[in-house]
Amino acid sequence: MDDDVLEQVRRSIPGLSAAEKKVAERLLVDPTVVIDLAINDLAKLCSTSISTVARFAQSLGFSGYRELRVAVARSLTLQQAQQVRFGLETTAISCDDSTAQVAAKLAAREIDAIETAARTLDVAALDRVAEAVADARCVDVFGQGGSSLVAQDLQFKLARIGCVASHSADPHMALTMAALRGPRDVAIGVSHTGETIETIRVLEAARAAGALTVAITSAAGAPVATVADVVLITHARDSSFRGAAMSSRIALLALVDVLFVRVAQRRG
């Protein structure tokens, strides 16, 4: 499994049984319990059974508890490496942090976001999109809010290398554009959460018109994936200090850059 395991645990909670949720919530509160405790000890701690802990691990795509322990240890090691690199005890931002602390914490989080996006990238899926974009008659890129900035960045880059690329942040215009496309076109929807209804509707319209639809998102299993022929996922998560998307935006931009370079390589 190539996703960040702690993030996958967060996303899995809605689909877990009540007993499995106890294990997930304990893991998120203190991930080290999985590393430190044997399966029977963790089961006791969560007031559940050994079989429940095993099912929880399997629900995340692991063969069993041992494989889950290894993945959690690796995830923690990667996070701790960034904290050590910047001399931080934590990357969580507080209202009392100095400018230097905020800068260091954001740098650590954004580096981690880019590395996670690169490490978990579905190369085959991205190359399929790059090939389709390079050969497309027209490429439309859509996004709302902060994701609109990422969509604009991709549209601008594609236009610079000769692709017929369009972007509209207006949902009504975007729907009109999508409805006019066909089998030789590509529609790309960017949504950090994967839940933006305007972007989902645009991809639905583009797919109905025959275009190849692509979702670029941070969230595996997000609703936008149901209307996309190809899904590209960064697996990025933002700080709890959230006035605006930060790490997630950086990860999306990094993925867009990889896609752009692969398209440029194909176009010569």
Average pLDDT, integer, range 197-205: 98
pLDDT per residue as tens digits for the range 37-59: 999 999 999 999 999 999 999 99
Where do the structural domains in the chain lie, given as residue ranges? 1-82, 123-267
Taking the CB of residue 86, how many other CB atoms lie within 10 A of it? 16
Secondary-structure class of domain 1-82 per CATH = mainly alpha
pLDDT per residue as tens digits for the range 231-244: 999 877 665 555 45
Q: Does residue 206 carry a pLDDT above 90?
A: yes
CA distance 209 to 155: 21
Q: Does residue 99 carry a pLDDT above 90?
A: yes
pLDDT per residue as tens digits for the range 143-196: 999 899 999 999 999 999 999 999 999 999 999 999 999 999 999 999 998 999
Q: Does residue 3 carry a pLDDT above 60?
A: no
Which structure tokens are listed for 85? 């690199």
**DSSP H stretches of helix in 30-122:** 32-36, 39-45, 50-59, 65-85, 99-119
Instruction: Find all residues with CB under 8 Å of 208, minimum gap 6, and list them.
Output: 179
Q: What is the pTM of this model?
A: 0.72
Candidate CATH numbers 3.20.20.150, 3.30.70.260, 3.90.1150.10, 3.40.50.10490; the one for domain 123-267: 3.40.50.10490
